[in-house]
């Protein structure tokens, strides 16, 4: 069985950014495209990661590579495969890199599984590469490919999407595990300067901030009646008025939400009920149960709002073996809610068969929300924050990782110093629900901030500058 999955990436015309960028930024984008086509003419830019759906990296690759291809760059995406034991090891590395002790250990046998899996994937990848190519390896799952790729003569960039501001024993353990594989990489990319590891060559470190795709089914405009129709179709909202559950696919063709979510709820959400939403993978570091507790003890009593916790269908994300058990834990915690609160909390496992349909449902949820929460205990960047900000939602989020780069506290969202402080989370949400004018102001500032800093053109420009620098050596 071939180890690598080759992802089809449709070209997306980057000229559509003319409608959302300032004149200056748009001119810079056009210049970038000209230069990139010239410099990258004979190169393939390979991106290698470990899942094609669910989670931030898959989300990023789909849009960035689409725009790169639309601009004339031969950017490609392959996904490695592995047995469950490999993904258990890499999920542990992921948790450790966030400084989080998941109760397990990293053993010699884990290293063996890791190396064997990547050796098998390397055997498929290496014959495809040419010395002129640039290979971007994403996250801990692919770090062990560095040596094999480097031997082909290709340029290797390793990009780490996770990190923490203050290292601890766990993160250092993960660094020690992974650093042995990374010595030959030409560059290491982190989402924040504070995430860069000790012991890496400082000259090879680059910081590149992630971005969202303003036009993808996840973030494209939806009329309120469209969002409601999508949520009704997905089984989350009680039907009020009929509307079209439609969206536009990345290739411009029309799409429609047909599949329902698996929703754990006592009754459907009513269209006129104020709504608090968190969208995340089912991951303890996203703390879905903490959000539910903050809602039950500090929000439900003083507002008429409901809460939706949404994430991918629990077993759909290949490189996240904990999804199903965290979803089950969240359902158990939901069952323990009091009779007064339980009907106001809805847990939605969203269908993942069609990634764009899934994205349209996430889009509708974020737009329908009065307040979006991202109460993560650790976060690399937190794309869900930028996604909600782009939709002019007021976001209440933890002051951790890349979330701090996105939200200016009190201006374009609200930052919570200690995400375990449920009373503080609750108070921030209640304040925004009770003051719609303030919430609107924050939402408008949030949109401007994303337009200025977190859209794909800026991200592509950073990548290109790095590749250009490495190519000119």
The stretch near ligand UDP (CB under 6 A) out of 53-61, 85-93, 115-123, 413-421 is 53-61
CB of 279 to ligand UDP, least distance (A): 5
Question: Degrees (nearest 5) of the Cα angle 173, 175, 180?
Answer: 110
CB of 329 to ligand UDP, least distance (A): 17
CB of 374 to ligand UDP, least distance (A): 7
Tell me the residue nearest to ligand UDP as measured from the CB: 56
Q: Are 276 and 429 in contact (CB under 8 A)?
A: yes
Residue 360 within binding range of ligand UDP, rule CB under 6 A: no
Binding mask 181-220 for ligand UDP (x = CB under 6 A): -------------------------------------x--
Helix (H) or strand (E) holding 396: strand 395-398
Cβ proximity to ligand UDP, 181 vs 381, nearer residue:
381
Alpha helices in 84-219 (DSSP H): 84-97, 108-125, 140-143, 146-150, 169-182
Helix (H) or strand (E) holding 323: helix 323-335
Question: For ligand UDP, how many residues bind (rule: CB under 6 A)?
Answer: 18
Which residues within the stretch 375-414 sit at the binding site for ligand UDP (CB under 6 A)? 381-384, 387
Q: Select from 156, 231, 359, 365 the one that contacts ligand UDP (CB under 6 A).
A: 359
Residue 59 within binding range of ligand UDP, rule CB under 6 A: yes
CB of 319 to ligand UDP, least distance (A): 10
Radius of gyration of the chain from Cα atoms? 22
What distance, in Å, lies between the first and last C-alpha atoms of the chain?
38
Residue 357 within binding range of ligand UDP, rule CB under 6 A: no
Residue 55 within binding range of ligand UDP, rule CB under 6 A: yes
Q: Select from 307, 350, 360, 429 the one that contacts ligand UDP (CB under 6 A).
A: 350
Collapsing DSSP to helix, strand or coil, 337 comes out as coil
Binding mask 412-431 for ligand UDP (x = CB under 6 A): --------------------
For residues 108 and 251, what is the distance between their CA atoms, to the nearest angstrom? 46
Distance, C-alpha 408 to centroid of its chain = 20
Q: Select from 80, 93, 149, 362 the one that contacts ligand UDP (CB under 6 A).
A: 362
For residues 373 and 199, what is the distance between their CA atoms, to the nearest angstrom? 35
Residue 262: φ, ψ to 5°? -85, 105
Collapsing DSSP to helix, strand or coil, 372 comes out as strand
CB of 376 to ligand UDP, least distance (A): 8
CB of 440 to ligand UDP, least distance (A): 23
Residue 459 within binding range of ligand UDP, rule CB under 6 A: no
CB of 94 to ligand UDP, least distance (A): 9
Which residues within the stretch 301-320 sit at the binding site for ligand UDP (CB under 6 A)? 310-312
CB of 52 to ligand UDP, least distance (A): 12
For residues 211 and 119, what is the distance between their CA atoms, to the nearest angstrom? 31
| 224-233 helix and 355-368 helix, angle to the nearest 10 degrees | 120
Question: Degrees (nearest 5) of the Cα angle 321, 282, 48?
Answer: 55
Q: Are 287 and 419 in contact (CB under 8 A)?
A: yes
CB of 4 to ligand UDP, least distance (A): 22
CB of 118 to ligand UDP, least distance (A): 21
Residues 6+ apart with CB under 8 A from 464: 32, 35, 36, 39
Which residues within the stretch 224-283 sit at the binding site for ligand UDP (CB under 6 A)? 279, 281
Q: Are 396 and 429 in contact (CB under 8 A)?
A: yes
The stretch near ligand UDP (CB under 6 A) out of 7-15, 298-306, 354-362, 415-423 is 354-362
Question: Which stretches of the chain bind ligand UDP, using CB under 6 A?
Answer: 55-56, 59, 218, 279, 281, 310-312, 350, 358-359, 362, 381-384, 387
């Amino acid at each position: 069985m071939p180890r690598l999955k080759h992802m089809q990436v449709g070209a997306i015309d980057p000229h559509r950014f003319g409608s959302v960028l300032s004149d200056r930024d748009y001119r810079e984008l056009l210049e970038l495209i000209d230069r990139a086509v010239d410099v990258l003419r004979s190169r393939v830019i390979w991106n290698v990661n470990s899942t094609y759906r669910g989670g931030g990296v898959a989300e990023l690759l789909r849009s960035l590579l689409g725009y790169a291809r639309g601009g004339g760059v031969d950017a490609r995406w392959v996904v490695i495969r592995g047995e469950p034991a490999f993904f258990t090891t890499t999920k542990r590395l992921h948790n450790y890199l966030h400084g989080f002790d998941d109760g397990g250990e990293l053993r010699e046998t884990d290293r063996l599984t890791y190396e064997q899996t990547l050796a098998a994937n390397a055997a498929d990848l290496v014959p495809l590469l040419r010395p002129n190519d640039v290979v971007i390896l994403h996250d801990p799952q692919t770090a062990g490919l560095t040596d094999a790729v480097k031997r082909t003569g290709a340029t290797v960039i390793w990009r780490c999407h996770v990190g923490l501001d203050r290292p601890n024993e766990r993160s250092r353990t993960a660094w020690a595990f992974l650093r042995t594989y990374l010595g030959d990489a030409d560059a290491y990319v982190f989402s924040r300067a504070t995430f860069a590891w000790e012991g890496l060559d400082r000259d090879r470190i680059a910081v590149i901030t992630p971005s969202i795709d303003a036009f993808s089914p996840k973030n494209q405009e939806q009329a309120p009646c469209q969002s409601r129709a999508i949520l009704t179709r997905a089984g989350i909202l009680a039907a009020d008025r009929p509307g079209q559950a439609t969206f536009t696919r990345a290739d411009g063709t029309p799409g429609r939400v047909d599949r329902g979510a698996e929703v754990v709820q006592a009754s459907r959400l009513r269209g006129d009920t104020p709504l608090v939403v968190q969208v995340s993978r089912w991951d303890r570091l996203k703390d879905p149960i903490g959000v539910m507790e903050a809602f039950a003890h500090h929000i439900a009593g003083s507002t008429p709002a409901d809460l939706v916790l949404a994430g991918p269908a629990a077993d759909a994300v290949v490189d996240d073996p904990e999804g199903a058990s965290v979803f089950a834990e969240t359902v158990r915690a939901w069952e323990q809610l009091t009779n007064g609160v339980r009907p106001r909390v809805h847990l939605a496992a969203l269908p993942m068969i069609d990634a764009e349909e899934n994205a349209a449902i996430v889009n509708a949820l974020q737009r329908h929300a009065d307040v979006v929460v991202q109460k993560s205990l650790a976060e690399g960047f937190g794309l869900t924050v930028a996604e909600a900000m782009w939709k002019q939602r007021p976001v209440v989020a933890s002051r951790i990782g890349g979330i701090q780069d996105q939200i200016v506290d009190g201006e374009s969202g609200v930052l919570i110093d200690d995400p375990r402080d449920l009373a503080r989370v609750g108070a921030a949400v209640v304040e925004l629900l009770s003051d719609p004018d303030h919430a609107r102001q924050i939402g408008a500032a949030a949109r401007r901030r994303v337009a200025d800093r977190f859209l794909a053109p800026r991200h592509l420009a950073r990548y290109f500058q790095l590749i250009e620098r490495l190519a000119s050596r």
